[in-house]
Chains A and B, each alone.
Chain A
Amino acid sequence: MASRARDTKAATYVYGVLHAPKPPRLGRAPKGLVGTGALRLVDAGGGYHLVVATAPLDRYGSEIIDAKLRDLKWVAERAAAHEAVVEHASKLGTLVPMKLFTMFLSDQRAIAHVTAKKKTLDRIVQRIQGCEEWGVRVMLDETEAAQAEIARSARPTSGASFLLQKKEQRDVRATVAQRAAEAADAMFDEVEALAKRAVRRSAPNRELAGRVLLDAVFLVPRERSKMLASTVGAIAKDVARDGVHVRLTGPWPAYSFIEGR
């Protein structure tokens, strides 16, 4: 049963803000997060419709979520459910996807938020309309890369001293890292040229910084997705023998491009 606006026992969980000229219909929608009510559309005016469900706070209160964030299984299940609804809603118009666990105290508060942010939303809709998000990661397998480099510069080892070998190994590692970093930069530049927007994310820690050479997200017009795939594919094929691996994921809803600005 839908909760009343001021009912503090439940919140309004927002999957996204849909911009559609005509009132959309949900159709056969996924269920959404476990324990939440049926998916609903809430008219927020100006062609905006909130894709929401009622979330009981005894399951989705902030303390509960904070505690449960350590439970990857719990988070992952909800992330998958969230993503399924967002993907479904994306087909109904231009959807500004919300991140996981975006909640308001009531439908009214959510509507008020949309009304207050209308100009920002208009800009975001303009930006993401007809676009999809793609993720590109470029990773270095140092061992593989070094082997490839050694094989390439193979020469008779006769007479090579121990120290000389050591020095060569060091040089190889530096060469490999340098080449891989260049490949990652080239990847970013080439994909950025196809994208409307691009964000390069920094490695979450130092240990990974050496291995993850590129972790980027791109906002790409739908009609360029084939071009994107072949561009990434061509570079990936080119660098694979050097121990540099590329991973392309997508298309995603534009989660990373919904900041107001």
Chain B
Amino acid sequence: MTAPKRVSRRPSLAAPSRSRRDVVVRPVLEDYDASLLDVVDHVLTKGVVVSGDLVIGVAQVDLVYLRVSAILCAADRILPYARPRKKRS
């Protein structure tokens, strides 16, 4: 059995999006790598964090948007063996 390949997390801004499925998010995803969106999904905090000394708040609406983007994009970037691409002729 093949061991699953780690999805590369080295983000590259130049890599083209491979999202074909969702027309709605496509404009957002152009020029973005799924792995980069994953980084954003992991490092961005949820909700607003303004307490005492903490300076920063993060708008919630954008986060949901980013998570949706990450998930939709990721849908196309599954582990290579998980989706054998059958050539149809």
Binding site for B on A (CB under 8 A): 11, 57, 61-62, 65-66, 69-70, 72-73, 75-77, 79-80, 82-83, 86, 99-105, 109-110, 112-113, 133, 135, 137, 139, 141, 203-205, 208, 211-212, 215, 226, 229-230, 232-234, 236-237, 240, 245-250, 252, 255-256
Given contacts A103-B55, A104-B54, A233-B2, contact A204 B64 (CB under 8 A): yes
- Is the C-beta of B56 less than 8 angstroms from some C-beta in chain A? yes
Across the interface, name the chain B residue whose C-beta is closest to A100: B43
Given contacts A103-B55, A249-B38, contact A233 B43 (CB under 8 A): no
B66 contact set on A, CB distance < 8 A: 72, 75
A62 touches B55 (CB 8 A): yes
Given contacts A204-B71, A249-B7, contact A83 B39 (CB under 8 A): yes
A70 touches B62 (CB 8 A): yes
Select A137's contact among B13, B28, B59, B71, beta carbons within 8 Å. B71
Q: Say how far A151's CB is from chain B's closest CB, in angstroms.
A: 12
Across the interface, name the chain A residue whose C-beta is closest to B36: A76
Provide a sorted-by-A list of 6 A–B residue pairs whose CB atoms are within 8 angstroms: A11-B55, A65-B56, A73-B31, A76-B36, A102-B56, A139-B71
B53 contact set on A, CB distance < 8 A: 104-105, 109-110, 112-113
Size category, B interface: 35 or more
B-side binding surface: helix, strand, loop or mixed?
Answer: loop
Q: Say how far B4's CB is from chain A's closest CB, in angstroms.
A: 4
A-B contact count (CB 8 A): 161
B42 touches A255 (CB 8 A): yes
Besides A103-B56, A240-B81, 7 other A-B contacts (C-beta < 8 A)? A72-B28, A72-B66, A77-B13, A105-B53, A204-B68, A208-B71, A256-B42
B81 touches A236 (CB 8 A): yes
Select B43's contact among A61, A83, A112, A249, beta carbons within 8 Å. A83
B39 touches A101 (CB 8 A): no
Q: When each residue 61-72 of chain B gets 1 if its CB lies under 8 Å from chain A and 0 otherwise, what string results? A: 010101111011
Distance of A151 Cα from B66 Cα, bound (Å) = 36
Distance of A126 Cα from B45 Cα, bound (Å) = 22
Given contacts A76-B40, A245-B83, contact A204 B1 (CB under 8 A): no
Binding site for A on B (CB under 8 A): 1-4, 6-7, 9, 11, 13, 28, 31-32, 35-40, 42-45, 49-50, 52-59, 62, 64, 66-69, 71-72, 74-75, 77-79, 81-84
Given contacts A101-B58, A249-B9, A250-B6, contact A211 B75 (CB under 8 A): yes
Distance of A143 Cα from B28 Cα, bound (Å) = 25
Q: Say how far A1's CB is from chain B's closest CB, in angstroms.
A: 20
Across the interface, name the chain B residue whose C-beta is closest to A244: B82
Distance of A75 Cα from B40 Cα, bound (Å) = 7
Across the interface, name the chain B residue whose C-beta is closest to A108: B53
A247 touches B79 (CB 8 A): yes
B31 contact set on A, CB distance < 8 A: 73
List the 9 closest A-B pairs by CB distance, nearest first: A99-B45, A233-B4, A245-B78, A109-B53, A103-B55, A69-B62, A100-B43, A79-B40, A101-B56
A249 contact set on B, CB distance < 8 A: 6-7, 9, 35, 38
